[in-house]
Structure formats: C-alpha cells, structure tokens
Amino acid sequence: MSDDNVIIFDTTLRDGEQSAGIGLTTQEKLVIARQLDRLGVDVIEAGFAASSPGDFEAVQAIAREVRRPVIASLARCVLPDVDAAWNAIKDAERPRIHVFISSSDVQIMNQLRKNPEEVMDMAIASVERAKSYCDDVEFSPMDATRTDIEYLYKMLEGAIAAGATTINIPDTVGYVMPWEFRERIRLIKENVPNIDKVTLSVHCHNDLGQAVGNSLAAVAEGARQVEGCINGLGERAGNAALEEVIMALETRKDLYGVSTNVNTRQIYRTSRLVSDITGFAVQPNKAIVGANAFRHASGIHQDGVLKDRTTFEIMDPQSIGWPSNELVLGKLSGRAGLRSRLDDLGYHLDQENLNEAFELFKNLADRKPEVTNADLVALMSSQRRIA
C-alpha cells in the first residue's frame, strides 16, 4: 500500500448487523461478503466470533471462502474472546484480530467498573495474545473521542509496543465535529511514539450526522484506513456510509490526493444487495445510491443537464454502476425536458405543437407529482399528435 492509498474496511457484517432490526444468517453474510469482495474492499470485518455460535460460524465460513480481502473478527479485550476470534479466522488467507476496549472515563467507570490501570493492562494483554496468533492486529480504544487525551496516548503507545499494526480511533457515539476530530488525529500523530509505523484508522458513528465528514477530515490529516458500512448501516444512527466516503475521495481527488482499491462500478449493486438482504430501504434522497441521486426534477436543471451533464452532476452515474441519469417530468419541468422525452418516445414536434403539448402537460403535472412515459403517450394520443 502506498501512502496515497486509503484502506477501505467494511464492517457491514459486524457493526452493520448491530443495526436494531437486522439479523443475518451465515448464508446471507456469505452472499454479502462475496459482493464486498467484488466491490474491492480491503478488509471485511466478518463478525464478532465470541458473541454467538452463529456469528462464529459465519466468520469462519467467510474466512474459509473469501480469499482476497483481509478477514477480521472483532474481540473484546478478554482472552477467551481473542482465542475465539482466532479460531474463527485462522483459515483465512489474510486473518486479522481486532481487539477493542473502552477508554473514556464515563465507560470505564460506569460500564466496565474497573480502574484505568486495569483497563490498560487488559488492552495490552489482549494485543499480545492476538499477536501470538497472527501478525495483523488492530486495536480500538472505544469512545476515543471522549477519552482523556493523555490516557489515550499511553494506551495507544502500549498497544503499538505490544504489536498492534493498525490503530483505530472510534468516534463511538458520533459526538465530535470534523474540525475537532481532525485536531485529535493531529495530536495523536504528534504525541504517540511509533504511530507512523502503524496504519492509522478511523471508525465514525453518525449520531449527529457527521460520520462521513469526520472520516474525511481524518483522511485529510493522514488517516489511511476508513471503517464504515454500506448504506450507512450500524449501531443506532449507523456508521459512515462507505459508498459516500469512497465517492468523496474519488470525486475530490484534487483535494485529498488519495485513491482506494474499490471498483466503484460495483457500488450500486452492493447497496441494492445489502438493502434487499437486510430489509433496510435506502432513502430516495440518499447520497450516491438513493433513487433520486441522479434524477433531475427542475426545469432549469434539466435544461442544463441536456446541454452538458456536468452543469448539475458532479459524478457520472455509470461510475457507481447506474446506467444513466434521468429527467423526471413534473410541474417544475420546462420545454427542453418535455421535448427531449417526447423525442425519446418518437414524437418529434415542431415549436407550435410542442407549445400546445406543453400546456396539456403542465395541466396534468399540476395533478401528478411525476408524469410518466405512459402518461405522455396517452396525452399525445388523445390530442392526435402522433408524429
């Protein structure tokens, strides 16, 4: 990996499955994992092996079948979890153990009910145990963005010394703003010994709607792995939507100067598959993969796009695997949009006939949010305007 490459870590099968209301079978996870492989993600977090026998089985099945990407299993910083993670992934071509533990006072005191020194020891012992099994070890201090920064530096230093090869900074509760997160990443890079020897990763949740922005801010500061889920699935309000992160890096290469190994033409197909299998619909106005992402409704926009697509489109729909943009005919459409659609339908009207058809069309459009091709054919037939 060059310094200009951002590792795409997909956790749809682990954090994505933590979306309340989603539960995936091993077969469903395998189908998604095969598609993630086609998409070209670098790491698939296949599950949390110690969490249930079913999850163990799914992680193991993916590790045995999906050979190109790194296959990771999550584990708490307790030794039996680390052992279970290893047992599930040991047949992978490129296994990774991902260990995590709370690092913020609020979680250490109120949830773990331990003292910070004990937690530090658990973190280090677990990284060491993971390292005894495999070279590729990721460490995450959970709730890192609400963690005392000096304690965080020490924990990260200890994890690196114990053998972690990726240090992941989770914004577990989606609390920070992009400029704060960027500053925290900068401070970590400046103050943690040997941080430049490992991959710096981020894992952002979307409670305040900042997950993608925070991930990108971290990339701007040098993070070289981004974790997220397809369609922004994940615990509570979800994780960073990977398709948004990927297309932002692609579209604004001028700004970030980085690339990924993703085949962006597989994005739409992946999003649909995940939506169909999980039963979680994608909202129509969702960036990149929503049904309206490449549909134009206003007359001014339609006129612009007909003259030159780039007037109102910053991405080519084909770049995400969607065949073409679409002009939606409705009350905001103008003559240019109507003429273009009638031409497509085989009605080549002169200006006078177009003006008359436009009037009829506008009357209809006031009664219907979208005038379909069938509506237009009926409208033209009833007016005997078949050219």
Mapping DSSP onto H, E and C, the string for 128-195 reads: HHHHHHCCCEEEEEECHHHCCHHHHHHHHHHHHHHCCCEEEEEECCCCCCHHHHHHHHHHHHHHCCCH
Q: Which is nearer to ligand KIV, 71 or 329 (CB)?
A: 71
Question: Of 314, 245, 299, which is closest to residue 11 (Cα–Cα)?
Answer: 245
The interface partner of residue 140, options being Zn ion, ligand KIV, none and the CB cut-off 5 to 8 Å by kind, is ligand KIV
Asked if 189 and 156 count as a contact pair (C-beta separation under 8 A), the reply is no
- In angstroms, give the least distance from the CB of 171 to ligand KIV: 8
- In angstroms, give the least distance from the CB of 142 to ligand KIV: 4
The interface partner of residue 56, options being ligand KIV, Zn ion, none and the CB cut-off 5 to 8 Å by kind, is none
The interface partner of residue 320, options being Zn ion, ligand KIV, none and the CB cut-off 5 to 8 Å by kind, is none
- In angstroms, give the least distance from the CB of 239 to ligand KIV: 8
Binding residues for ligand KIV, per CB under 6 A?
Answer: 15, 74, 100, 140, 142, 170, 172, 203, 205
- In angstroms, give the least distance from the CB of 18 to Zn ion: 7
Q: Which is nearer to ligand KIV, 18 or 275 (CB)?
A: 18
What does the alpha-carbon distance between residue 32 and residue 278 come to, in Å, rounded to a whole number? 10
* Chain centroid, CA 103 distance in Å: 25
- In angstroms, give the least distance from the CB of 192 to ligand KIV: 18
Q: Which is nearer to Zn ion, 208 or 291 (CB)?
A: 208
Question: Of 56, 58, 52, which is closest to residue 26 (Cα–Cα)?
Answer: 58
What does the alpha-carbon distance between residue 363 and residue 349 come to, in Å, rounded to a whole number? 19
- In angstroms, give the least distance from the CB of 203 to Zn ion: 6
The interface partner of residue 100, options being ligand KIV, Zn ion, none and the CB cut-off 5 to 8 Å by kind, is ligand KIV
Q: Which is nearer to ligand KIV, 127 or 142 (CB)?
A: 142
The interface partner of residue 142, options being ligand KIV, Zn ion, none and the CB cut-off 5 to 8 Å by kind, is ligand KIV
Q: Which is nearer to ligand KIV, 198 or 342 (CB)?
A: 198
Asked if 342 and 380 count as a contact pair (C-beta separation under 8 A), the reply is yes
What does the alpha-carbon distance between residue 72 and residue 94 come to, in Å, rounded to a whole number? 9
Read off the tokens for 46.
């296949």
Binding residues for Zn ion, per CB under 5 A?
Answer: 15
Asked if 342 and 373 count as a contact pair (C-beta separation under 8 A), the reply is no
Q: Which is nearer to ligand KIV, 11 or 333 (CB)?
A: 11
